Amino acid sequence: MKAVVSKIDLVNLISKIQSIVATKPAIPILANVLIEAIDDQLIVSATDLTVSMCCHADAKVIEEGSIALPARRFFQLVRELTAPQIKISANAEIAEITTGTSVFKINGMSKAEFPTLPDLTGSPEASFKSSDLKEMLAKTSFSAAREDSRYMLNAVQLQIHNQMATFIGTDGKRLAKVSSSLPLDPSVSGSYAIPLKAVEEMVKILDDSEQEVRLSMASDKLSLESGHLTLSTKLLSGQYPDVERVIPTTLSQNFSIHREELISLLRQISLFTSEMSSSVRFSFETGQLHLAAMSSDIGEGRVSMPVDYAGPRIEIAFNPYFFLDILRHSKDETVKFGLNDPHNPGLITDSTQALFVIMPMRLNDAPSPRKETLSSAP
């Protein structure tokens, strides 16, 4: 193998693929990246056996070939090089990196030892604008569980049905759901539990452009093709929870809230919650929302803002950080907030095809704005 590639292009490939390489690999080969020189392209591939990535850059290929190199060492060396062009040669299990008068040799491994990457040729495909897919994944992945014992929650669920793509993320305490129409054959349908690591990598590689990207979907794996990059992932196997039953279909109260103002007040009031009980009491009364939080070792905070609420007084408690996450992933100057009572979830929507559900907390975990303050208590 002999190829010459631009350092800028190679560094760009490395920046995209480095997070795929396992930090504590189950088998040694997974700490390596596969370097291939084929058809005037340098192809770099990595996998942790669940998520795989393959990306390529234009190169002058003198002799086709391949080698697997220690990812961390190879990446560090490439970043330190100052020459604009890098020559990579490989013979057996040794790679030679040459720039100008500098020569470096790195021990590698044969391509035969590197795991075979998934091939989804012939699988159903769905096309998205890069910006649209990035937004839908970002709006749902923040709600997915991280390292939850209910491993199916450590994923974003993609549902394809009736020419609609629906992405869902939940950790049991909050839920995000986004839908979009697709130019698909109506017969194409399925459910796919995409591991959270794969989703987060997709969000990183997608940009805010109008460029078309493709999702290929098989029964046990899924891949995203975007430009010179392909990311593949195994899907989680199991039954994703039936989330529809927790999404409120009727609401006794539904009103608008100024999003930025509520974000500001929640950031203030969250400073007075403790790690043991991150709970803020929301008290709604005609024209007003009062927020209160108290911690025995910090103190207490109380803030208010105008809202167009016109129903009976309702007190309900929420985790302020979960509420903030939802508001940050919402759009518009104002959002709609709906609820029924202190014991059932609240629903937040904006002008997009997104909805967010947040479960309430116990009211006794948060102070009431009408109780005496700590300073006035006997």
pLDDT attached to residue 22? 85
**Other CB atoms within 10 A of residue 4 CB:** 16
Measured CA to CA, the distance from residue 201 to residue 21 in angstroms comes to 12
Q: How far apart are CA 78 and CA 21, in angstroms?
A: 16
The topology under which CATH files domain 125-244 is: DNA Polymerase III; Chain A, domain 2 (3.10.150)
* Residue 292: C-alpha distances to residues 27, 310, 315, 320, 376 (Å): 51, 20, 11, 11, 16
Amino acid making up residue 252: S
**Residue found under tokens 């970002």:** 138
Task: Look at residue 364 in the predicted model and tell me its pLDDT.
Answer: 64
Strand, helix or coil for residue 363:
helix
| Listed residue (172, 145, 164) closest to 156, CA to CA | 145
Q: What is the pLDDT of residue 365?
A: 52
Topology given in CATH for the domain delimited by 2-113 = DNA Polymerase III; Chain A, domain 2 (3.10.150)
**Architecture of the structural domain at 248-376:** Roll (3.10)
The pair phi, psi for residue 116, each rounded to 5°, is: -75, 130
Q: With both helix axes pointing from N to C terminus, report the angle between 259-269 and 320-328 in degrees, rounded to the nearest 10.
A: 150
Measured CA to CA, the distance from residue 281 to residue 305 in angstroms comes to 14
Average pLDDT across each block of 10 residues of the chain; the chain has 378 residues. List them in order: 95 92 89 95 95 96 96 94 95 92 94 92 91 96 88 94 94 95 86 96 93 94 95 95 91 95 96 85 96 87 94 94 96 94 94 94 62 35
Distance of CA 26 to the CA centre of its chain: 24
pLDDT of the residue at 377: 36
Separation of alpha carbons 354 and 348, rounded Å = 9
CB 288 within 8 A of CB 309: yes
Given this model, what pLDDT does residue 185 score? 81
- Which residues make up the CATH 3.10.150.10 domain(s) of the chain? 2-113, 125-244, 248-376
Q: Retrieve residue 76's tokens.
A: 């560090």
Beta strands in 227-269 (DSSP E): 229-234, 253-258
Q: What is the pTM of this model?
A: 0.89
Q: Please tell me the predicted confidence (pLDDT) of residue 55.
A: 95
